[in-house]
Structure 1
């Protein structure tokens, strides 16, 4: 990737001599690749770690050295401190970057490195301990003058106690793992029963993900915005904030889309939040990069949530608007160097948006998807004065998405001088992102970019739940966009048909004998139209007389069509189908048929195939491990009753009865690995 000026040091292109002899990255995937890129620019050799599942992973190929760390489960490899420390000693590395997740906020790991004389590229052990424990961090924040959310900061021992405390605080409440992060070990409860159930689930998730099952409860602020402040501090008493990131587009407490700056904050609120974030960092003797997260209500009152003592997943948007490479600054601070800039040097330049591309099926309530990436072609990365496109990823075509780790595939980022232009750049980049082989959330990300509330900057953390309460079932293109897509289908069909006709000998190069009248069907609508072509494009005339000009270079076999349609740019993914194409654009995934009038007449007479009846079956919605069964054959079940729990990609998913019934057969046992649509149980 060409180095963007927005990724470099604010005072120039940065040094090329690193402060360490060898850097080991105690992580995997996208963040390992991200750290390697900066280390390479600084001239620091890198060491990657890999489990059995990651033997052929991209981060392994990118690093200068790679060491095997153990079997696929993270508890036996990436978060096994003894195994990682053995790798550190064998590699001879004098510094370790932990990335995010895994051991990044584990004080025992940081202390082990300190005792071994190896630099930990992160904050001091004391800061990790103070801020990593959410209960302790809230007490320290309050003492430092930081606004905090009401809640119960003590430890909770049982589900009944959790329900009692939640009732005293007042529903709704947030049940959270003290050592949690990344949406793991978090549940919102609106009733006592949900509090008991959420407490048990959060406790199990926390133990599995962090080895720490402590739980606390706080008031859940309704209609909030999630806004966080990026801080940097060194060992010389300098601390700054690098403005804010808006992270309100979330699903199940997991961020999906982030942007910097926030479209909601004013300068006074930004300065107040930044000052409190810096005060908290100084109160715990912080150094390195860290993030202070706040909940902000509609009146711009803000409350401290937590401090993440590590690099955040969404750090690229801050880099894009400030021009500072946060990984580089973490490395230099760990080497004892002072920050080379002050608060007065930090300005907001333009707007940046990040879309997290996940291996999850949006049409199945965003449940995890695993498999091989049979096609992986991200949009081209560019950097210029009007637009930048950046794709931070840890995979490549042919790679496999495993059930053992986080489902994030990539972080697609765009930058532009304005928010409107950054959104436009993101729309184009998403349309041009080719991904096949697994379920993924690209259509949903595109849908968000076109949503009026997002475009207006009017969103809260309830945005997804409110706008898609029944789940995401795809994008329905509005009439004008659908007509444009119909015109595209007809124009590219003509090009493909000419090629087929020439190969078969039906026409020659001197005399065109193809018809000009066609019927396009898409999204349940029918469009009779006529084509008039010239060497530079095709004029498509609809039955009512409307004409649409389609221009641009596309050849049969190309998967992307970059066209000008009615004077506007349009990117369409093209896949040939019988009598037409599968066309994807702006989140819509349509089967489009292009027929002669006679073919359309006959097609209308064909019967429709009905889908199979699965109403009496409980199907596994995603690949995973069956960790519990709550019913047996012969049991009566009620609507909404928990039937079983399936674990996938470190998250527990409770499957519930959709209606009253009797279980006639259970086809799976606890401990079994299940495939998508595998029948777990049957009903009368």
Structure 2
């Protein structure tokens, strides 16, 4: 077995590989850029090598620099993780030439499957069902429009060397095709150094389901079930689960056998993933093969008990698979939520900054449930503009889907994260969404259910009452403590009353609290009673309570006359007042926010790539105004209404902060 492995990656996947290597008794080498000097993967590795400036194209994807780190460290093998150089055949060739083992497939398989055009042709030859489209190279936007017309709208414009949602656009007409073609080429060039583009039919109402394969160099190949990856935004997966709530055993077997046949057709070794699009009638079509470890691999590990990273290392060491297809059993259900540094209240635009608080839920591995958090950050660390916005992958397992879902809800509510915008509220909202709970999902789920973006969650009446009961009991505990600390009265019962009015999300609840040493019973004016117990202490940012016999987890922040509460996707202000205070509060004027309707504000920190208008231009609704690049994605900002450009306050190449003014209108 290898004695030392270098991980040619960063962040959570580098940390993930290091964990398994340590378990196997293998020493690890990390590489890092300027921005990652104090990163978690650097701390976890046995040694670390600096490889250059912060931008990935000057450090992590510069083959010569990585090879120098390998040589200097004496590493015998390299695990590439995903992204960066993981599917770069030139890197695999350089390793082979240097006599260093690549923890991944052979160069030929990477070349064949890493190019989406070639892989589709090979899939067809191997008898794998494929999506209609044009697999030739497309030279310019005019040719793209002509081909799209022949294939039939809608079409998917994709980067041949792409992955992770980069270089992908859906076009529904000629204009969108022209614009999408150019944006896809730009993203592909900057992310992969390869701007080749192809076009295929976009299957409406599809599910994105992928098969995990594992092959060795002795001719053995198996599949480890499927993953449902249909909850996507901008072609980027957000929530995954295994198995799929949609597939039956017959379809699973057919997809699995085709996936293994494709892997064997290109002499594939190591772990890989064959992605399919599946329609409502369970017809499935090959999308692509990822010749690497997938981001969502933990859900497969949780339902099969197979450590995929360990298997990759053993295969790279020349060992035979110790697992046969008949050994693969799918046990229970696993769900993964990708926690991103993206602000859901700003249309999921990237957010950067320091993690002033980062307290994931406790990791648990019990017979009846599992909570797992794969991460590469820590409290006090920075989320950089240079890399992917992923913070963590939170996973739960249970014996069935309902149990896994409930543990995920509680884990998300318990996840403390402050300092940046993040998608925790959105993830929580999806877990409670009726369509998701039922399993009736497609890749259009987010677009269909949140067409105007995510604006938070309004709790139903029952959950509002539960939160109101919890907040009233918590407020009373805080008031008692405040009275004791102030020394105003020895008998705190004369100071702290029993009658309160709790106001949240536009609703008011009149309550009376009957307290005892073990908790409080909250009486509502409609006759409802709720027993509240908790060991919460005033000032704690997380409250774990039992309300009416059911667990309730709240993230708590103090505000005047109440708390800021976050739970189940809702972010609300809960005010607790005496009846007289509540009566007077209705007479208070609300503060009006400033009018920014005549300004184009930068929605996220980013770089101005292009400005499409000039001062004095008349613009129409929907017209492109400028392009901002953030975290390797291009974002086109458009006019919300007709107007005239009065002033432009920046130029291409400028770095802007969130809410910085880009231009003003008359």
Q: Give yes or no for TM over 0.5.
A: yes
Aligned to 1:349: 331
C-alpha separation between the residues in 1 aligned to 2:497 and 2:13?
54
Aligned to 1:140: 122
Alignment of 1:566-581 (within 5 A): 566-581=548-563
Alignment of 1:43-122 (within 5 A): 43-122=25-104
Aligned to 1:363: 345
Alignment of 1:87-486 (within 5 A): 87-486=69-468
Aligned to 1:526: 508
* CA pair 511-190 structure 1, distance change in 2 beyond 3 A: closer
SS of residue in 2 equivalent to 1:431: helix
Aligned to 1:40: 22
C-alpha separation between the residues in 1 aligned to 2:590 and 2:491?
40
SS of residue in 1 equivalent to 2:84: coil
C-alpha separation between the residues in 2 aligned to 1:556 and 1:115?
62
SS of residue in 2 equivalent to 1:40: helix
1:340-367 CA-to-partner distances (Å, cap 9, x unmatched) read 0100000000000000000000000000
Q: Decide whether the 8 Å contact of 2:484 with 2:492 is kept in 1.
A: no
What are structure 1's unaligned runs of at least 5 residues? 1-18
Q: Which moved more, 1:525-534 or 1:168-177?
A: 525-534
Total equivalences in the alignment: 666
Q: CA deviation at 1:509?
A: 5.8
C-alpha separation between the residues in 1 aligned to 2:376 and 2:526?
50
Q: Decide whether the 8 Å contact of 2:483 with 2:495 is kept in 1.
A: no
C-alpha separation between the residues in 1 aligned to 2:585 and 2:433?
35
1:533-580 CA-to-partner distances (Å, cap 9, x unmatched) read 011111111112211111121111211111110111111111111100
Q: CA deviation at 1:604?
A: 1.4
Q: What TM-score results when the alignment is normalised by the length of structure 2?
A: 0.99
Match of 1:586 among 532, 555, 568: 568
1:638-665 CA-to-partner distances (Å, cap 9, x unmatched) read 1000000000000000000001110010
Alignment of 1:540-619 (within 5 A): 540-619=522-601
C-alpha separation between the residues in 1 aligned to 2:494 and 2:262?
74
C-alpha separation between the residues in 2 aligned to 1:101 and 1:507?
63
SS of residue in 2 equivalent to 1:530: strand
Q: Decide whether the 8 Å contact of 2:483 with 2:492 is kept in 1.
A: no
Q: Decide whether the 8 Å contact of 2:355 with 2:417 is kept in 1.
A: yes
1:257-278 CA-to-partner distances (Å, cap 9, x unmatched) read 0000000000000000000000
Q: CA deviation at 1:511?
A: 5.3
C-alpha separation between the residues in 2 aligned to 1:615 and 1:513?
48
Alignment of 1:10-21 (within 5 A): 19-21=1-3
Aligned to 1:3: none
C-alpha separation between the residues in 1 aligned to 2:13 and 2:379?
18
C-alpha separation between the residues in 1 aligned to 2:52 and 2:457?
42
Q: What TM-score results when the alignment is normalised by the length of structure 1?
A: 0.97
Q: Which moved more, 1:370-379 or 1:598-607?
A: 598-607
SS of residue in 1 equivalent to 2:447: helix
Match of 2:609 among 627, 635, 654: 627
Q: CA deviation at 1:443?
A: 0.3
SS of residue in 2 equivalent to 1:140: helix
Aligned to 1:12: none
Q: CA deviation at 1:512?
A: 4.9
C-alpha separation between the residues in 2 aligned to 1:334 and 1:482?
55
Q: CA deviation at 1:599?
A: 1.4
C-alpha separation between the residues in 2 aligned to 1:517 and 1:511?
12
Does residue 653 of structure 1 match 2:635? yes
C-alpha separation between the residues in 2 aligned to 1:645 and 1:244?
37
Q: Which moved more, 1:57-66 or 1:539-548?
A: 539-548
C-alpha separation between the residues in 2 aligned to 1:544 and 1:319?
49
C-alpha separation between the residues in 2 aligned to 1:385 and 1:559?
30
1:253-302 CA-to-partner distances (Å, cap 9, x unmatched) read 00000000000000000000000000000000000000000000000000
C-alpha separation between the residues in 1 aligned to 2:254 and 2:520?
57
C-alpha separation between the residues in 1 aligned to 2:633 and 2:505?
35
Q: Which moved more, 1:648-657 or 1:557-566?
A: 557-566
Q: CA deviation at 1:513?
A: 3.6
Match of 2:482 among 495, 500, 507: 500
Q: Decide whether the 8 Å contact of 2:138 with 2:196 is kept in 1.
A: yes
Q: CA deviation at 1:606?
A: 1.1
SS of residue in 2 equivalent to 1:131: helix
C-alpha separation between the residues in 2 aligned to 1:362 and 1:514?
39
C-alpha separation between the residues in 2 aligned to 1:550 and 1:593?
18
Q: Decide whether the 8 Å contact of 2:211 with 2:255 is kept in 1.
A: yes
1:315-346 CA-to-partner distances (Å, cap 9, x unmatched) read 00000000000000000000000000100000
